[in-house]
Structure 1
Amino acid sequence: MAAIEQKSSFAIPKLAQDLIAGTIGGWAQVVVGHPFDTLKVRMQTQPSPPIYKNAMDCFNQLVKSEGPKGLYRGVASPLAGIGLCNAVVFMSNGEFRRILQNGSNRELSLAEIGIAGAFAGSVMSFFNCPIELLKVKLQTQDPKGVIGANGKLEPPYKGVLECGVRTVRAHGIQGIYRGLGITLLRDFPSYGLYFVTYEGLKRTFQSMKKNPEEQLSTFDLLMAGGLAGFGAWIPAYPQDVIKSRMQNDPRLKSSLAALRTLIREAGARSLLSGVGPTMARAFPANAATFFAYEMAMDVMNKL
């Protein structure tokens, strides 16, 4: 959105603006996107032979057995964590952009925006990995129990806090960072293309305005944010499947072992397992993320 001149002596620092707006955007993303994410993770981690025919069958079985609230299983972790992660990625992205600007106010090229986004994604991975691990464990656990580190059945987790405590007790602090390597390999290219797609579309929509000073409409922002969600998954989806498998099964010692097991049991096509609900989620969740971010920034710029 067009920059708004500060009219008040009170000005929120840019870093704090990115932090606050990113948090609000993250909350909007969770509220809109978590049901789709639950379906995605269940499709990604189901055993072989599969228990779900497709995403719709997964939806029907989950709602039938647990009701609509089943779609929000494990939501406490991302609601608390995705707000933080989104704050980190938007704050890091803003800071890396300012580093590339080197004290000037020049408009960055899309390549530079991609570089800033990719490095912001790598920073975010260190926060995102444990949050997603707990989310995956809670989303996929069977009401009868969960598989422990020794391969035996243990009681199901009662909530995100107990899940975290039991994971650390069983595996140490490194236990909640299972899958960090593959998370980095996912988030570095993903966030680079994420911000390139968003900023590129905003510039395209702006160039189509008859009046260059005219602000982007709500529709423009929602379209740019939603399509950026698609862009983020293009270079990242197979890594996400491998990460979910590895984080869900403590017997898999590495992402490479998870990949080999996945291909051996379900074939190479399984690397796209759950892509349907992921893409169905991508547009509304990321449209909500960027729109909430922009609105929050707009409010703070008017203070």
Structure 2
Amino acid sequence: MADVVKDLTSGTIGGAAQLIVGHPFDTIKVKLQSQPVPLPGQLPKYSGAMDAVKQTIAAEGARGLYKGMGAPLATVAAFNAVLFTVRGQMEALLRSEPGVPLTVQQQVICGAGAGVAVSFLACPTELIKCRLQAQSALSSSAATGAVKYGGPMDVARHVLRSEGGLRGLFKGLVPTLAREVPGNAAMFGVYEALKKTLAGGPDTSKLGRGSLIVAGGLAGASFWAFVYPTDVVKSVIQVDDYRNPKFSGSINAFKKIFATEGVKGLYKGFGPAMARSVPANAACFLAYEVTRSSLE
């Protein structure tokens, strides 16, 4: 129980650090992912990441970069507490003896298991976040019939009332699982491998903060590099119009994006996602490790 409490506390603090550092990048990522395909002869709403930043600040101020942060901030404690606690409990199950370091392969398994658990928290949270982040891009297309939301609770009320009740909040669960399970498997596996490399052996307890920042940042980048097209599919499904949907499911969304925009369409917003992943996950892992060590 003591280890559970430590992981809960450390995961919460790590998640808060990750969110504060990374949310503006995430907002731009979602805007680029969800903007409508321009009609023939027309330019897209955003020409790229920097253009999206400029337009967002011009229209909404700097606060626009933090739009949709309320939903993940409200659940960041639960999300990261579950992620690191499930991972910690799986570590305990796989460890042959107390205190024995796990192999990289075992950390991959722990990450995958944690990914399953957090998917059920991530899906409704990200649906609300994506709706808020994308509404300015979607509103430029009259064909979308986009709903204007006043905030996270307004999104939740609308979905519960008009989009199938509780089931509506879990729209996009399949691609969320397809992102979180392999993504977290890769992230925790890479994190462990890098820590052991930087430590020069299996004992990573003496690593300095600089090494933890490097390992955490690159581990976070591996998450997105491994599963990014799945995240694009998740985003477009979650912001798709309920009454007049463009996509019938995850596979259909993947096929349509690929058919109309090619491989490039499956990597819309990849630059902001990668730019976010390094500092945000570096902050998360550093905050987690420092907090966890202070509780020992």
TM-score scaled to structure 2, two decimals?
0.90
**Aligned twin of 2:222:** 231
Match of 1:174 among 167, 179, 190: 167
> Structure 1 pair 203/64, CA: closer, same or farther in 2 (3 Å)?
same
Q: Is 2:150 aligned against 1:158?
A: yes
Match of 2:199 among 194, 206, 227: 206
| Distance (Å, rounded) in 1 between the aligned partners of 2:264 and 2:146 | 29
**Aligned twin of 1:248:** 239
Q: For residue 18 of structure 1, what is the amino acid of its counterpart?
A: D
What root-mean-square deviation, in Å, do the aligned CA atoms of Structure 1 and Structure 2 show? Answer: 2.3
| Distance (Å, rounded) in 2 between the aligned partners of 1:253 and 1:89 | 30
> Structure 1 pair 113/48, CA: closer, same or farther in 2 (3 Å)?
same
Match of 1:280 among 271, 275, 278: 275
**Aligned twin of 2:293:** 298
Q: Is 2:79 aligned against 1:85?
A: yes
Q: Is the 1:82–1:128 contact (alpha carbons within 8 Å) kept by the matching residues of 2? A: no
Q: Is the 1:18–1:87 contact (alpha carbons within 8 Å) kept by the matching residues of 2? A: yes
| Distance (Å, rounded) in 2 between the aligned partners of 1:79 and 1:118 | 23
Q: Is the 1:55–1:277 contact (alpha carbons within 8 Å) kept by the matching residues of 2? A: yes
**Any gaps of 5 or more consecutive residues in structure 2?**
39-43
Deviations 1:58-117 (A, max 9, x none): 111111111111100011011112332111110110011111125643221110110111
Q: Is 2:57 aligned against 1:63?
A: yes
Q: Shift of residue 266 of structure 1? A: 2.1
| Distance (Å, rounded) in 1 between the aligned partners of 2:271 and 2:103 | 32
Q: Is 2:128 aligned against 1:134?
A: yes
Per mean C-alpha deviation after superposition, the further-off stretch among 109-118 and 138-147 is 138-147
| Distance (Å, rounded) in 2 between the aligned partners of 1:214 and 1:94 | 16
Aligned pair count reads 286
Q: Is the 1:168–1:175 contact (alpha carbons within 8 Å) kept by the matching residues of 2? A: yes
Deviations 1:243-292 (A, max 9, x none): 00000113133112222232233223110110000110011000000011
Q: Is the 1:26–1:84 contact (alpha carbons within 8 Å) kept by the matching residues of 2? A: no
Q: Shift of residue 146 of structure 1? A: 9.9
| Distance (Å, rounded) in 2 between the aligned partners of 1:75 and 1:168 | 20
| Distance (Å, rounded) in 2 between the aligned partners of 1:190 and 1:16 | 25
Deviations 1:169-226 (A, max 9, x none): 1121110101101111111111011011111111111118xxx798211111111111
Q: Is the 2:35–2:137 contact (alpha carbons within 8 Å) kept by the matching residues of 1? A: no
> Structure 1 pair 230/136, CA: closer, same or farther in 2 (3 Å)?
same
Q: Is 2:37 aligned against 1:44?
A: no
Deviations 1:126-183 (A, max 9, x none): 1111101100001011399699xx96454x1111011111111112111010110111
Q: Is the 2:91–2:110 contact (alpha carbons within 8 Å) kept by the matching residues of 1? A: yes
| Distance (Å, rounded) in 1 between the aligned partners of 2:289 and 2:108 | 19
Trace 1:186-201 onto structure 2 (pairs within 5 A).
186-201=179-194
Deviations 1:45-70 (A, max 9, x none): 11112211110111111111111111
Q: For residue 184 of structure 1, what is the amino acid of its counterpart?
A: L
| Distance (Å, rounded) in 1 between the aligned partners of 2:24 and 2:204 | 39
| Distance (Å, rounded) in 2 between the aligned partners of 1:177 and 1:29 | 24
Q: Is 2:213 aligned against 1:222?
A: yes
> Structure 1 pair 297/214, CA: closer, same or farther in 2 (3 Å)?
closer
| Distance (Å, rounded) in 1 between the aligned partners of 2:173 and 2:14 | 24
| Distance (Å, rounded) in 2 between the aligned partners of 1:233 and 1:107 | 26
| Distance (Å, rounded) in 2 between the aligned partners of 1:207 and 1:152 | 57
**Aligned twin of 1:7:** none
Percent identity reads 39
> Structure 1 pair 90/71, CA: closer, same or farther in 2 (3 Å)?
same
> Structure 1 pair 226/255, CA: closer, same or farther in 2 (3 Å)?
same
TM-score scaled to structure 1, two decimals?
0.88
SS in 2 for 1:117: helix
Per mean C-alpha deviation after superposition, the further-off stretch among 234-243 and 213-222 is 213-222
